[in-house]
Structure 1
Amino acid sequence: MAGSLQDQLLGAGLIKDQDAKNIKAKKRKAEKQNRKNKVELENEAAKLAEQAREEQRRKSQELNEQRQKEVEQKAIAAQIKQIIEMNSIFKGKGDDLPVYNFTDFNKVKTIYVTAKNHDLIARGRIAIARLNNAYHLIPAEAAVKIKERDADYIVLLNDPLANDDDTVEDDPYADYQIPDDLMW
């Protein structure tokens, strides 16, 4: 009794020849379907692995960009600090200094400065900058450089053209002389 079970059943007359062919066809179709499904499963697994790699790469890239931004922000902050410290102007000493009031975060702040600095601030030639919760007087040119990097450090920078006395053409009080000893 050699041969397959199907051959033995055919020889014994228990199944017909057509039934044996149908069984072979079904078996062949099933094997073909299994091969096809395995390929699809393998492809699906490869797709999932590729998606996972792509997601990991994207997350890594976002993290690198965030770190790069932090490094750039620290570098800009260091540059601003250096500009403010190098260009800081002496405010003055003593109790008889004039007061200059300005707003910072919608609160009125006060600093004591010399009369000359008071005038230069009003004319827009000196600006007020905030560094580590302290206010510094800096030249307007330095304030413009800082404003290009980060405008939050500049508290006050008056427009020099708006305060220039030479630009007033139709001043009705031009004929009246202002006393020299008048202090506002």
Structure 2
Amino acid sequence: MRLYLIVEFIALFWLLPLLYVLGYLPLPVIPTLLLVTVVCCVILFCDKEFDRTRLWRAGALSKVLLPLFGFFAIGALALAALVYLREPDRLFDLPYHKPAIYLSILCLYPIISVYPQELVYRAFFFRRYEPIFPRERMLVWMSALAFGWMHIVFENVLAVALTLIGGFLFSRTYLRTRSLFCVGLEHSLYGCFIFTIGLGRYFFSGTL
């Protein structure tokens, strides 16, 4: 079983994104993500020992309220400064020039992108691969690395670097709360802010 999980982990979280970048997968990014999410859901729901309350558990937010919003405030300032210094013309470009698209992203992004990603990379990952990564620190880092690697589909270093950092934060939040609501909220805050300040083009593919 352990060997099978290792092979599955490599195939699903490392080979699949690489095959996408190399052009061997016919589906766009979002349909591929949703298909993987369905598979992971089936596996989780077939696991009789999996605690399904982890798929939401909003009450756990009180455990991480201050650090979650505190880190976000610091991160938001750093990201805004990055855009201002590197690409000042793009700061708030999307909400200013394309408000309808921007509002659509704010509404749809948490539902069709954030929650599926967190289900796969946190709820499924932590439950499924704990036997091969028994130490919590290792589980957090492997989840973060896999999450960052997945963003090679956008074919730029910045997307991978930022999501590696984000993946570490999200994994730590999930470890503390075992709540997709909490980690989904955190992910949505960063993601929507990235689109707000002009970094969204690094996380967009024309074949989404």
Task: State the TM-score, normalizing by the size of structure 2.
Answer: 0.23
Q: Which entry has the higher C-alpha Rg, 1 or 2?
A: 1
Higher strand content, 1 or 2:
1
Q: Which has the higher contact order (CA 8 A, sep 6+)?
A: 2
Higher helix content, 1 or 2:
2
